[in-house]
A and B are shown apart, each in its own frame.
Chain A
């Protein structure tokens, strides 16, 4: 089953015909080289951990235009970026790039798990995708400065990071509020 949605049967006629083209535009150029041999799935931590849609199935689902079913599933966000699939693929499909391309599709549809949005927002606000507000005290207890020597300690660097993010696709998409981006106002995050 490709998703937990109500329709067990996938209707190929309702597939998105331009889906493969979109994935190719967003970085999954080699998707049609895939012959579903399954070598990537054999080494994929997502597959081993039991996520329903891992690299091989993702590719077949894209191939058949199962766009909606994929947007309903959060497996792609579980990819650990180990890149082993890309290293071992016998046909240079670069499955990891296809996972990234699918994430780009999902972000554009705001089909992103809340945790991922929080991470993005935190990256924009403080320079870390994961940052524990109360970590300062703990750091001091063990003799470290309250803030680590990263963007968080250098407001100018944070401005630079934000300037970079303003140039990224995140600005257009408006999935997180950004300074001066009106689209962000409509975002419910």
Chain B
């Protein structure tokens, strides 16, 4: 049967037509073998554009469709739907990308771009002529979701899905939920107390019958695809039996090992046995084995030493004071913790951010205890912080008389991060305001490059801060010098006065950049999601698919995608929960029919394909007494590795058959395809 292929060339407004001679391309298309009609339109994806295709199909002029336009990434589903609506199998469709891969890439070279468009269309037509109808498959969806990261974004995503009736696993690598927001004192622009609005949410996620907390846990491996992800979770070793622990804190008091307190950003120390912070959820103790000093010679997994005089076993202080028996160091705890698998239909990644430390910024005297990051200042200002909310500087506990904030530390800086961290202007203003309101006699300076306050009620907040007498100086600080004593000298340039300025300050707060949290790239690899050049996880489309990732069924929320404030993080997390609920609600999801199949006649049973399959979908099985490769369709992801490797050409990847691909290559490389190849 000779195919009747229709070619539809899109102008994409000026995007394509600005660099490709569309009329010429349309004329050329009609000369290609198998082409019955060729048309052009300003926006082929619009309703009138789709109507052109539908009419031709319904009139019987066309039984294969090639659209030469933007990208299948966003527009293939739209055109496939148009085929279906007109009664044609949706897989009798091929797209030629003459925008991203042609007009944009060769803008200004109209002749070259036009030739390349012709070649790409010839290739698409060659494949389209050989297309066969395929049937979409469906898989049943596991009605549960894994949310990675239990900060404000993750918690809201979990609550939404749990509220819809779906089972949610809420995972965090820290012992408590809460994330970075739990460290904040107040939150702009309303100056709500962070703990007052966050801690009730933490309690909610812990008590929700549909949410299961997996704190102090990490994602070890992810297999499967949308609807059926199999996730291996590793619960790190706490060395405390959480079923028995009541969070009383007696063991923490008794513990003698010490290390830097990460919750207070290293401003004070915590015990080796610790509860993350007083409002932690779950409120359970964790032993940090690296800081444990094994009191009384009590090593994990070893019997207690016996006191020579009394003959009694010598217990470590933590064990002595524990009333519930949760702390038993003689048990053979596995330092690796415990691994187990969970099955989920969708995954939301809300793994957050980390604030840069001060150390990389040598020009700002990071050795001085009075040069701190704004996150550290947040802890100093917080009632739950190392100074109980009293405004004391680290070196001597004195109340600072002059405070200088420095903006864009590590942001908009090619040596660190080129992006704007987006929230620093506002959090600096907020911290400055909290200081100025509580201690009006304090001189507060903020050194900015630009003040960026584009948010609801943000500019008003900025104006209010100026009226409070907070001094705004435009110009990046060049240096912070340590003066004799504990003082600091800030050296800057006031762009508005056009003069160099200096300031003697008691405390300097650096608005350090928000950067991807540690291990994000590794997590992305496990999930199959790519990171952008700046290291944050990449969404499919900034505007239209902001919470979707390149892996179907995996969504992103909050600062894992890029710097965001709390309102924006929560908005995005609720968007992600809504997107993640769609497949759960549908109950089944369509799967592309692009799976591999084995021609049993050709297969020699060599088994080369078996170890190559990344999805473990192929096994050797006995068919009619002969060993042959067998493919489990439900596991096949259609990657095509087996088809490429098979020495007998016995494996066919539907939708990408060998003859289709060779036809494409022939068309691309033939002289008739639009001019000679150089």
Contact = CB atoms under 8 A, between A and B. Distances in A.
Nearest to A41: B496
Interface in B164-189: none
B473 interface: yes
Given A8-B500, A9-B499, A13-B503, A32 B469 contact: yes
A63 B496 CA distance: 11
Contacts of A60: 494, 496-497
B469 A10 contact: no
B75 interface: no
A106 interface: no
Nearest to A58: B497
A57 B466 CA distance: 17
Interface in A35-87: 35-36, 56-57, 60-61, 63-64, 66
Interface string B639-660: 0000000000000000000000
A56 B502 CA distance: 21
A36 B496 contact: yes
B498 A10 contact: no
A16 B471 CA distance: 13
Contact of A1 (B451, B466, B496, B498): B498
B445 interface: yes
Interface string B456-500: 000000010011010111100000000000000000001011111
B279 interface: no
B403 to A, nearest CB: 12
A57 B498 contact: yes
B502 A13 contact: yes
B500 A35 contact: no
A80 B502 CA distance: 33
Contacts of A33: 463, 466-467
Nearest to B443: A17
Given A56-B496, A60-B496, A36 B474 contact: yes
A107 interface: no
B402 interface: yes
A9 B445 contact: no
Contacts of B499: 1-2, 8-10
B496 A9 contact: no
Contacts of B402: 13
**Chain A residues touching B, range:** 20 to 34
A63 B467 contact: no
Contacts of B474: 36
A11 interface: yes
B501 interface: yes
Given A57-B496, A64-B494, A9 B469 contact: no
Given A36-B496, A57-B496, A9 B471 contact: no
Given A32-B466, A60-B494, A10 B504 contact: no
A51 B556 CA distance: 56
Interface string B490-520: 0000101111111110000000000000000
A32 B503 CA distance: 21
B497 A20 contact: no
Interface in A1-37: 1-2, 8-13, 17, 20, 32-33, 35-36
Contacts of A1: 498-499
Interface in B71-116: none
B601 to A, nearest CB: 79
B497 A57 contact: yes
A12 B445 contact: yes
Nearest to A8: B500
A136 B504 CA distance: 61
A73 B472 CA distance: 23
Nearest to B462: A35
Select the residue from B445, B463, B472, B496 with max chain A CB neighbours within 10 A.
Answer: B496
B466 A64 contact: no
Interface residues of B, number: 22
A36 B446 CA distance: 14
Contacts of B498: 1-2, 57
A32 B467 contact: yes
B471 A64 contact: yes
Nearest to A56: B496
Given A12-B502, A13-B503, A35 B497 contact: no
B602 to A, nearest CB: 75
Nearest to B500: A9
Nearest to B464: A32
Nearest to B441: A17
Contacts of B467: 32-33
Contacts of B471: 12, 63-64
A23 B471 CA distance: 16
A12 B497 contact: no
Given A57-B496, A57-B497, A64-B497, A9 B473 contact: no
Nearest to A53: B497
B236 to A, nearest CB: 49
Interface string B556-579: 000000000000000000000000
B618 to A, nearest CB: 66
A63 B467 CA distance: 11
A20 B466 CA distance: 12
Contacts of A17: 443
Contacts of A10: 494, 497, 499-502
B497 A11 contact: no
Contacts of A57: 496-498
Contact of B469 (A13, A20, A56): A20
A1 B497 CA distance: 7
Given A57-B496, A60-B496, A35 B466 contact: yes
A11 B490 CA distance: 10
Contacts of B504: 11, 13
Nearest to B492: A12
A73 B659 CA distance: 85
Contact of B501 (A20, A35, A64): A64
A35 B452 CA distance: 12
A36 B504 CA distance: 24
Nearest to A59: B496
Contact of B502 (A9, A20, A35): A9
A63 B501 CA distance: 13
Nearest to B493: A9
A5 to B, nearest CB: 11
Nearest to B468: A32
A82 B473 CA distance: 28
A79 to B, nearest CB: 18
A52 B343 CA distance: 71
Contacts of B445: 12
A34 B588 CA distance: 59
B435 to A, nearest CB: 16
A61 B499 CA distance: 10
B524 to A, nearest CB: 40
A2 B466 contact: no
A102 to B, nearest CB: 15
Nearest to A21: B469
A11 B502 contact: yes
Interface in B605-647: none
A12 B402 CA distance: 11
Contacts of A35: 451, 466
Nearest to B490: A12
16 contacts: A1-B498, A2-B498, A9-B499, A10-B499, A11-B502, A11-B503, A13-B503, A17-B443, A32-B466, A32-B467, A33-B467, A35-B451, A35-B466, A36-B496, A63-B471, A64-B497
Q: Sorted from nearest, which 5 A-B pairs have the closest CB atoms?
A: A12-B503, A13-B504, A60-B496, A9-B500, A36-B496
Given A12-B445, A12-B502, 17 more contacts: A1-B498, A2-B498, A8-B499, A8-B500, A10-B501, A10-B502, A11-B501, A12-B471, A13-B504, A20-B469, A32-B469, A33-B463, A35-B451, A56-B496, A60-B496, A61-B497, A66-B497
